A and B are shown apart, each in its own frame.
Chain A
């Protein structure tokens, strides 16, 4: 394992591997996760889930469950107020209020029981009698788009991931974008490759299951301890569903044991709030692993058809991308995002992208680390690899020829600022890995390029200066990946003080301004920017204070690197600590605050991979031999943790590529809802990963920061498919490329 940084800037705090403040608590077990919260008189609840993929609920009889000793309350959809049209439905959150007339997937929550112990609650579930009228289920997106397919909803909400989609058919929404003339484009092409691809449902696989403790006070106000990525979305959805004012719902985010997009919505909190209201006692619900697999949102399965045309000199001239994302029981697959980035990494003058958001009787999907991008890149990079083979061009040279650069326009017509596509490709090309020939039978090498837009959005922050010169920062972004550290470093850099003088805390929804959730690779970028602005506010107020102490106009006082000084009079000078000591006696403390919404400065980013692997021709098993990832991170705030992001995303991508899948039977029942049979990689399945951290500073951010967390999962399936092709000569077009599938492909190749 090696880590290389190609560094372009130098700061005092940023870019150093400081000690992360949450590290010791996490390794010693002191850190408080949601399931660690214990309140006096707390009850435990369990959720009854639908055994059918599609059924009408005729009746629910909870009387026998309520008679059980130790059972305190039961909640069903009837306990929720009617949901006003358009409020929560826009968030796709209506179903957190439990199934009412229909269940739409196996695992759909129908009722919940609160009892003195989790075991009593569990047993009570078996006493709830639900009468179902089983309906025909539809489990494949292409079938769901056919006329006559079972219809899940009377009406589909057209809002998906912030984009408005068009109705296509009863179960499908669509979004289409185009540029140029693809028919003309394909006529100009010397080589055309067209293929179909599929990917299966996969789960984010966070270690900590969903868990919450909810306490409803006699006045109806609700306090929620929850493992969540976006406490404000949890608050707003819960307030909507319970018809409460937003200031009567407080969400306290606990430490979070992984999210990756799967902990953005409140599966449990609204029902726990009602159970708490009914009993007057706090209620805890913690999911089992099978609850997590069957009752939360995995990443969408997909069907994709890709056609690319290129000149024999390597220029891409036309592309048609058609894809169906399987949304699960409610619309909301990441179609809009995938339409935007699907072809975004290459200059293709003529293109047509058709995306479909298709409901089927499976769990409602949620984002997973670069939602939609991994599927699309598997297909489109697969076709690019084949084009390279057909025109006999090195796959890196081909990509260098076509990759977008500064000034090229994205699919919305906006020109890119400085971006690092060329840099990541050059880094792979010049890596020791790529320059070392791979030898031996059944071995192959693959490369792929990934592109991700990254996110911006609203964040708030405030900073209090203490008399001893240390500061406390409060912010509202749950720390999934070390963001607390990177955000605190940006504040320390701006204040010109050491990181050790900063204490940073993620607080509840009453204690900080609105902050969007920790998703979309936005946290270090946007909440970091909020910390910069709050620190600038502190600097401004401390300049004013110095000027009043010195009785000079504030414009004569300057600040640099944590030193406040008079621009002409060298005797007038305070260090940050000296001035902090004077604050309380000269007008009171200084608190800086900020609200930002930096959508314009978001820096898209690239990652490139090279992988070597070996296929066992007798079993179809793929062994990864060597893996190198190069990613443009703008500015590595904390290189150690950035390296961790690159490795972690790559490992998840390897899992998606080789073994992970929901195995559904014909009735829509998941047959492998445990970590034993849902095969995420274990340590022995992945090699040490070499990382090359590329810093092409984002011109849109004060410190050049780009999102880091998602880009790294995008490329591994495509790179691995290319390597398998080079090893055994077979094009793999379906994920996962599990041993059984590779074996079948080999048998087909040998006319078995």
Chain B
């Protein structure tokens, strides 16, 4: 690991100006659970590391009538410790409580998980199915980007040099809705998804038909994948195993995985079907309880 400078800004404007310095080679540090490991391995270089943990906007976690404002540096632990947030967004809790281990969840942030842009990120599919929107600040002001458009490839995202992710805003969950994220890993902890699937469903008033649905997949494409068609085909369909299997097949159709040490193409496509069906069943269960 090569020597680097370290700065702890205390305001968003200071953070933005630090990120713009150093010819754009500055990196934000939240929990450091990805950044420091990659710097040690020589896979990321940073002359300046900017600590996000003292910038108020980056550490906000607030639940209002309009939804959730999730500061980019908010740790996973703060999410699963916050009962109203867990009640309102159980799928976010699903994601935040399976990343790494309990110790890692105390450091790792949801925003960092998104910015790291791993195809296997466990939080990102949940943010996508909840129609999350990213607030990005930079030298030219702020802009908004839907979460599903944030990642551009393995390890890359839409942030331009000098820009940083401020927060992710999730709209409030509508009535009769539910969501779930699950992944497949050979180990029960400390593992990376072989495949993952998040589902959000809204049921009609009878709770017997799908009013809307969003499905998103992990680890089966160069980026976390928004499987729009798979969710759309559920609209108006009755809640039954046939509809669920159709959506699962549609999700499989958009998965474009690779074979690597974590799994094969065939295994991953198969798992997308299994996991999507399981995610939908659980999301329906939650919607009916809501």
Contact = CB atoms under 8 A, between A and B. Distances in A.
Interface in A704-752: 738-740, 743-744
Contact count band on A: 20 to 34
Contact of B267 (A681, A682, A685, A743): A743
Interface stretch (B47-55, B60-68, B180-188, B214-222): B180-188
B271 interface: yes
Nearest to B40: A288
A679 interface: yes
B159 interface: no
Interface of A: 119, 122-123, 618-619, 621, 658-659, 663, 671-672, 675-677, 679, 681-685, 738-740, 743-744
A685 B262 CA distance: 17
27 contacts: A119-B1, A119-B2, A123-B2, A618-B274, A619-B271, A621-B186, A659-B187, A663-B261, A671-B260, A671-B261, A672-B261, A676-B191, A677-B192, A679-B191, A682-B188, A682-B190, A684-B187, A685-B188, A685-B189, A739-B186, A739-B194, A739-B267, A740-B263, A740-B264, A743-B267, A743-B270, A744-B267
Given A672-B261, A677-B192, A679-B191, A738 B1 contact: no
Contacts of A677: 192, 261-262
B192 A619 contact: no
A738 B261 CA distance: 12
A683 B102 CA distance: 13
A119 B262 CA distance: 31
B261 to A, nearest CB: 4
Given A122-B1, A671-B261, A682 B187 contact: yes
B3 interface: yes
A738 B270 contact: no
Given A685-B189, A740-B264, 5 more contacts: A123-B2, A671-B261, A739-B186, A743-B270, A744-B267
A553 to B, nearest CB: 68
A449 B274 CA distance: 37
A119 B3 contact: yes
A35 B263 CA distance: 36
A681 B187 contact: yes
B189 A684 contact: yes
A651 to B, nearest CB: 13
B217 to A, nearest CB: 16
A309 to B, nearest CB: 37
A685 B194 CA distance: 17
Contacts of B260: 671
Contacts of B186: 621, 658-659, 679, 738-739
Interface in B163-212: 184, 186-192, 194
A529 B192 CA distance: 48
A677 B267 CA distance: 17
Contacts of B264: 740
Interface of B: 1-3, 101, 184, 186-192, 194, 260-264, 267, 270-271, 274
Nearest to B188: A684
A256 B83 CA distance: 44
A675 B101 CA distance: 13
| Chain B facing A: main interface SS | loop
Contacts of A671: 260-261
Contacts of B262: 677
A739 B263 CA distance: 9
A123 B262 CA distance: 31
Listed from nearest, the 8 A-B pairs whose CB atoms lie closest are A684-B188, A663-B261, A671-B261, A618-B274, A672-B261, A740-B267, A682-B189, A684-B189
Q: Which of B187, B260, B271, B274 has the most CB of A within 10 A?
A: B187
A658 B270 CA distance: 20
B190 A739 contact: no
A619 B262 CA distance: 14
A471 B186 CA distance: 51
A621 B270 CA distance: 13
Contacts of B267: 739-740, 743-744
Nearest to B3: A119
A181 B191 CA distance: 51
A676 B1 contact: no
Contacts of A739: 184, 186, 194, 267
B184 A619 contact: yes
A712 to B, nearest CB: 21
B103 to A, nearest CB: 12
Contact of B190 (A123, A676, A738, A743): A676
Contacts of A618: 274
A618 B186 CA distance: 13
A679 B194 CA distance: 13
Nearest to A736: B186
A685 B1 contact: no
A621 B186 CA distance: 7
Contacts of B101: 682
A512 B277 CA distance: 66
Given A123-B2, A740-B267, A685 B261 contact: no
Contacts of B2: 119, 123
Contacts of B190: 675-676, 682
A663 B264 CA distance: 13
Nearest to B260: A671
A672 B260 CA distance: 10
B264 to A, nearest CB: 6
Contacts of A684: 187-189
A390 to B, nearest CB: 32
Contacts of A659: 186-187
A407 to B, nearest CB: 46
Contacts of B263: 740
A285 to B, nearest CB: 17
B188 A619 contact: no
Contacts of B270: 743
Q: Which of A119, A671, A675, A679 has the most CB of B within 10 A?
A: A679
Contacts of A675: 190
B184 A685 contact: no
Contacts of B271: 619
Nearest to A671: B261
A676 B185 CA distance: 11
A678 to B, nearest CB: 9
Contacts of A685: 187-189
Q: Which of A122, A685, A740 has the most CB of B within 10 A?
A: A740
Nearest to A621: B186
A528 B186 CA distance: 41
A682 B104 CA distance: 15
A676 B186 CA distance: 11
A676 B184 contact: no
Contacts of B184: 619, 621, 739
Contacts of A658: 186
A738 B190 CA distance: 16
A681 B261 CA distance: 17
A681 B271 CA distance: 22
Contacts of B274: 618-619
A659 B191 CA distance: 12
Nearest to A684: B188
A621 B101 CA distance: 20
Nearest to A683: B189
A676 B3 contact: no
Contacts of B189: 682-685
A679 B1 contact: no
A739 B191 CA distance: 14
A123 B263 CA distance: 34
B45 to A, nearest CB: 12
Contacts of A738: 186
A148 to B, nearest CB: 29
A675 B187 CA distance: 12
Nearest to A670: B261
A664 B3 CA distance: 32
A618 B195 CA distance: 13
B3 A679 contact: no
A395 to B, nearest CB: 28
Contacts of B191: 676, 679
